[in-house]
Structure 1
Amino acid sequence: MKALLLTSAAVLVSTSAIAADYQVDPAHSFVTFEVGHLGVSTTAGRFNEFEGSFNLAEDSQSGSAEFTIQAASVDTNHEARDKHLRSPDFLDVKQFPTITFKSTSFDGEELKGDLTIHGITKPVSFDVEKIGEGSDPWGGYRAGFEASTTIKRSEFGVSYFIPGVTDETEIEVFIEGIRQ
């Protein structure tokens, strides 16, 4: 469930005069989630279809992002569970095909914005770590970040089987962007 968090195309809006636009590289970017199961284990999953863009100030201390996740791409490595997660009990992907995030601020360490899951939009805050940036072997320039947050899925209308499956859902986003 936690991977639900990141759906949308990332667009960073810089407060600095010098900024660069990046497109998310889907081959090197991931949205993952973890939830507790029956109080005895952790179930992990990911979303396989994720896109976005961001704009980053030269000093990496300001910008904004926008991401879109295809909810039906949820993958927990168990076909029957994934089918159930796509159903109205959880993500209801026919009615709510995307999960989106649109930032409202970024200060270099914290990315705040609006997350929409299951048709409900709530403010969330991600802790962000810049992994690095630099030229790639193909003449491009890349920047990479990791971001994490914890949400309560019930606040987004996804409350089936709580507490058997925990309400708290940890979400991690791994982003590699290519400067445009």
Structure 2
Amino acid sequence: MKTRRIITSVLILSLAIQGQIYGQSTQIKTAEITFEFPSKNVSGTIEGFESSSTIDFNNLEGSKMKGAVDSKTLDTNNFLRNISLRSGRYFDVKNYPKIYFESSSIRKQTNGFKVIGTLTMKGTSKPLEINFKEVRNKLLGNTSLYSSDYGITIKKERTDNLVKVNFSFELQ
């Protein structure tokens, strides 16, 4: 009888602990954001990440992803190109110091989840979808966009302004 109570207590305690671990929301601790501009064979990073995201893997619909990066941190490993990209002709970091994203919905997919939201860059807001998957204590994501849709026209043809973006978010 006493053994049965101990086993029952242990089971209840372990279920309660699991509920606390898996039922809690998590935030993004750090971020690494990289991009590739295929038509120019240019890649780089952007930093200065801020986030007020809350992710609950048991309730993705109730989760929210919201963040910003400092456009002045755009880095392509080429000093002169960086100066040009940060100028008023392209990113205009003086007037638009941040790039913002805010989700409107998060949906489960077979291999992770899709975040649908709005990206605001250089004063222009457009819908954007980002695919994520959880790998260990990280969220790995990717998306594609056209810089010309945000008033940043590097090449004449829209298709030549394709930018591929990758995210690696460490969770806490």
TM-score, normalisation: structure 2? 0.76
Determine which structure has greater relative contact order: mean sequence separation of CA pairs < 8 Å that are 6+ residues apart, divided by chain length: 1
CA distance in 2 between counterparts of 1:83 and 1:165 reads: 24
Equivalent residue number for residue 74 of structure 1: 74
Q: Percent identity?
A: 22
Q: Does structure 2 retain, via aligned residues, the 8 Å contact 1:21–1:53?
A: no
Q: How far does residue 132 in structure 1 lie from its aligned partner after superposition?
A: 2.4
Equivalent residue number for residue 35 of structure 1: 37
Q: Does structure 2 retain, via aligned residues, the 8 Å contact 1:72–1:97?
A: yes
CA distance in 2 between counterparts of 1:117 and 1:98 reads: 7
1:20 aligns with 2:34: no
Q: Secondary structure at the match of 2:82?
A: helix
Moved over 6 A (4+): none
Relative to its length, the structure with more strand (as a share) is 1
Cα 1:165–1:52, aligned 2, differ >3 Å: closer, same or farther? Answer: same
1:129 aligns with 2:123: no
Q: How far does residue 60 in structure 1 lie from its aligned partner after superposition?
A: 6.0
Deviation string 1:130-154 (CA, Å, 9 cap, x unpaired) is: 1123xxxxxxxxxx20111111111
Equivalent residue number for residue 116 of structure 1: 120
Equivalent residue number for residue 52 of structure 2: 53
CA distance in 1 between counterparts of 2:159 and 2:98 reads: 22
CA distance in 2 between counterparts of 1:164 and 1:32 reads: 21
Q: Does structure 2 retain, via aligned residues, the 8 Å contact 1:65–1:102?
A: yes
Cα 1:165–1:71, aligned 2, differ >3 Å: closer, same or farther? Answer: farther
1:89 aligns with 2:83: no
Q: Which amino acid aligns with 1:73?
A: T
The CA RMSD over aligned residues, in Å, is 2.0
CA distance in 2 between counterparts of 1:53 and 1:98 reads: 15
Q: Structure 1: which 5+ runs fail to align?
A: 1-17, 134-143
Cα 1:106–1:165, aligned 2, differ >3 Å: closer, same or farther? Answer: closer
Q: Which amino acid aligns with 2:144?
A: T
Cα 1:160–1:52, aligned 2, differ >3 Å: closer, same or farther? Answer: same
Q: Secondary structure at the match of 1:123?
A: strand
Relative to its length, the structure with more helix (as a share) is 2
Cα 1:165–1:34, aligned 2, differ >3 Å: closer, same or farther? Answer: farther
CA distance in 1 between counterparts of 2:56 and 2:119 reads: 23
Q: Does structure 2 retain, via aligned residues, the 8 Å contact 1:152–1:167?
A: yes
Q: Structure 2: which 5+ runs fail to align?
A: 1-22
CA distance in 2 between counterparts of 1:76 and 1:160 reads: 14
Which structure: larger Rg?
Answer: 2
Residue-pair matches, total: 145
Q: How far does residue 164 in structure 1 lie from its aligned partner after superposition?
A: 10
